[in-house]
Structure 1
Amino acid sequence: MFFFKTMLVVICVFFNLHAKDNKTSLLPNINEVYFLPKEADIAKDNILRLIKKSKNNISIAMYNFSYKKFAKELISSSKDGVEVTIILDKSKITKNDKIYKYLKSNGINIKIADKKMHMKIAIFDEKIAVLGSINWTKESFKDNYEVVLFTKDKKTINKMLNYLNRF
């Protein structure tokens, strides 16, 4: 009986620690989808967690990016040695260049698409991709009906990386 109780405690502690330490465990399957605004906090927290936990690289193509919280975390990751590359739409930068200047002045590699760049993609360490209808703006997470897909599907991720590397 003592052995059974001890094992039960060990298992509970393990799962509890794992869940607290690695919230990407919220993505146990190949794909997880979130609908906003109802699941906005989960989606936002998962994106922030992926930015913080990335070790090698983050590749982003984002039509409209003005969410300073994400920008700050990307800069922090970059300063920790993570290679961050962001492709932005030229018209959005022309309209509002605040985040662009902030990211650029903090060493983030920014590329400007020569045509309308309407994608909303982020790839973390070439292992998890986030895509959907959502722009990285505070309003998109708060006010809009959006869909966000988190995927670990390697074939999909490789195809997206090959496409983004053309810029």
Structure 2
Amino acid sequence: MQELFNYFVNHKSALKKRHLPKSVAVQLKRLTRHQRDRLKLQLTETAKTLDELDKSQAIDWLQTCTQLINEHAFHFNRVFFSPGNEIKNEIKYLLEHAHTSVDLCIFTITDNELAQKIKVCHKRGVKVRIITDDEKTTDNGSEILKLAKAGIPVKIDHSHYHMHNKFGIIDERIAITGSFNWTYTATKHNQENLLATSKFEIVKQYNDEFERLWDSLFTF
């Protein structure tokens, strides 16, 4: 984020053209809402101390910075359906492009291809955590033991009822949820749905629920 801050401060004249280099635009899209808010606050504080600009110029510069940050913010809201590969391909894409974290609260995982994508995330340094149902870990074809052996933290419930959630949070900025179980049957035969959204209020609620469950469940 410091690199973005430096760009806005050191390219005041260029900003008037409202055109950002591709590298800067990409970095802006990767920011979470919290990071965008921190960047705006940092720029606001800086605008108060810019000796080379008068008050009116400083306000104009800050407004331009804020508008560019908002224009290049990441927004993603889509719904996917099965049978067919639409849902599975979207999950694979999100896992492949995760940068920092993948938190999955999934009833069951038996799809080997999706399990492999999870492992690859872990191997390239993405922080991966999985919550799943205790009874489903012993199902024929369950990938949970393999994922745990790969070094991925896994937690399970111990109750007479199911941990029946099917949601995930990618990089703390995208939430995915729906009826879709991570199984071959769900992809090939079932009528299923998946919602993927970057809406901050929704992502935060799913993230809070994941953390609550993570703190209350048992290590696999």
Pair 1:35–1:63, CA change in 2 (3 A): same
User: In 1, distance between residues paired with 2:94 and 2:145?
Assistant: 23
Greater Cα offset, 149-158 or 107-116: 107-116
1:122 partnered with 2:168: yes
* TM-score between the two structures when normalised by the length of structure 1: 0.77
The residue number in structure 1 matching 2:98 is: 54
Aligned-pair CA distance for 1:35: 2.3
The residue number in structure 2 matching 1:81 is: 125
Structure 1: runs of 5 or more not aligned: 1-13, 19-27
User: In 2, distance between residues paired with 1:132 and 1:102?
Assistant: 25
In the alignment, which of 89, 95, 99 is matched to residue 139 of structure 2?
95
SS across alignment from 1:118: coil
* TM-score between the two structures when normalised by the length of structure 2: 0.60
Check whether the contact 2:109–2:142 (CA below 8 A) recurs between aligned residues: no
1:63 partnered with 2:107: yes
Pair 1:107–1:153, CA change in 2 (3 A): same
Listed one character per residue, the Cα deviations across residues 18-42 of structure 1 (whole Å, up to 9, x for unaligned) are 9xxxxxxxxx8642112211xx322
Pair 1:30–1:72, CA change in 2 (3 A): closer
Written as runs of structure 1 = structure 2, the 5 A alignment for 1:8-157 is 30-37=76-83, 40-96=84-140, 98-115=142-159, 116-157=162-203
User: In 2, distance between residues paired with 1:57 and 1:29?
Assistant: 18
Larger Rg over CA atoms: 2
Check whether the contact 2:110–2:141 (CA below 8 A) recurs between aligned residues: no
Pair 1:35–1:42, CA change in 2 (3 A): closer
Letter in 2 for 1:52: E
User: In 1, distance between residues paired with 2:109 and 2:122?
Assistant: 17
Listed one character per residue, the Cα deviations across residues 108-138 of structure 1 (whole Å, up to 9, x for unaligned) are 1111123421011011101111100010001
Aligned-pair CA distance for 1:98: 4.1
Letter in 1 for 2:92: L
Count of equivalent residues: 140
Aligned-pair CA distance for 1:97: 6.9
- What is the percent sequence identity of the aligned residues? 30
The residue number in structure 2 matching 1:11 is: none
Letter in 2 for 1:129: A
